[in-house]
Amino acid sequence: MQLDLVDVFGSGPLTGNPLAVVRGAEGLDAAAMQRITRWLGFSETTFLLPPSDPSADYRVRIFYPAGELPFAGHPTLGTAHAWLAAGGVPKAAGAIVQECGIGLVEVRREEGMLAFRAPELARSGPLDAADLAETIRLCGVRPEDVVAGIHAANGPGWKVLHMTSSEAVLAAEPAARAPLHTDVALLGRRAEGDGAAWELRGFFADAGGRLCEDPVTGSLNAAVAQHLFASGQAERAYVAAQGRKVGADGLVHCRREADGSVWVAGKVATVSAGGTVPGPF
């Protein structure tokens, strides 16, 4: 087994979300994958495996400190990057096909970035009163600064608060602890001429019940993009920023194509490649 470290969605060196990719993980069971993930301490770690679907280029299992995810965005781009860097050759020209818990996800190389096709939302629509109140509490925002609360589940079960501004997003003081499998987020429009059009923050509960802030989150950005395009609050393409409160400076490029598909793109860079993972675990 070998270990690669990659930086995903960065605007420069070491400004994105770190990801560990374990290649040659066939000998690991789920418990071992979880132990490795918790020890590394990143928001996610992925494990590359041979595909079981003949149309896929590889299969990946995605773990975060509190369990396994059927899909996640920055692990999708980071794993595709590591697979390509290790000599992977796609079966079909122009597209990489990843097999994961939700099925097949298409990844493309474009203009110095990688992009994934956003999967269909498993749940959308407004939060009910109880979910809205609890999400406001967990995110630590003022109710009067909330424009709307929505479900945006696409693997993680994101509950998103649309805020009045990016300033309200950055002013939030989230709770210290949350129930396991909590995924909550904030979205606010940035001022004109401020580079990115939208500011995001995403929070998840770790294995110990601590509410942690994710530096840059592909699944969240994918779900938010689908909401913004569908509701007419964004047209064609935009850039979102995430991570400024935790020392990152992530940029996520979102666009909707003529066929209605939504694509989420960002820069991916290798930090370290080919480290040995000796085991046993």
Tokens at 269, concatenated: 């860079």
Give per-residue pLDDT as tens, 221-239: 999 999 999 999 999 999 9
- Residue 51: predicted pLDDT: 97
Mean pLDDT, the chain, integer: 96
| DSSP states of 226-256 | HHHHHTTSS-SEEEEEE-GGGT--EEEEEEE
Same-domain pairing of 139 and 261:
yes
Give the model's pLDDT for residue 111. 87
pLDDT tens readout for residues 185-218: 999 999 987 789 999 999 999 989 999 999 999 9
Q: Are residues 143 and 258 in the same domain?
A: yes
What pLDDT, on a 0 to 100 scale, did the predictor assign at position 280? 78
**Torsion angle of alpha carbons 252, 61, 204, 251, nearest 10°?**
-10
Is 123 among the domain residues? no
Residue 100 belongs to a domain: yes
249 and 272 together in one domain: no
Identify the domain containing residue 226 by its residue range.
129-265
Q: What is the amino acid identity at position 169?
A: V
Asked whether residue 112 falls in the same domain as residue 184, the answer is no
- State percent of the chain over pLDDT 70: 100
pLDDT in tens, 33-53: 999 999 999 999 999 999 999
Helix axes 73-85, 218-230, angle to 10 degrees: 120
Read off the pLDDT of residues 137-172 as tens digits, 9 standing for 90 and up: 999 999 999 999 999 999 899 999 999 999 999 999
Please return the burial class of 148, using the count of CB atoms within 10 Å of its CB with bins 0-12, 13-18 and 19+. middle
Domain co-membership, 201 together with 175: yes
Give me the pLDDT at residue 256, please. Answer: 97
**How many distinct structural domains can be found in the chain?**
2
Tell whether the torsion through CA atoms of 148, 189, 42 and 209 is positive or negative.
Answer: negative
What pTM value is reported for the model?
0.95
The answer on 134 and 219 residing in a single domain is yes
Q: Let me know whether 65 and 161 are in one domain.
A: no
What is the rounded CA–CA span in Å between residue 222 and residue 206? Answer: 22
CATH label of the domain that carries residue 63: 3.10.310.10
Residue 207 lies in a domain: yes
Structure confidence at residue 219 (pLDDT): 96
Phi, psi (rounded to 5 degrees) for 32: -65, -40
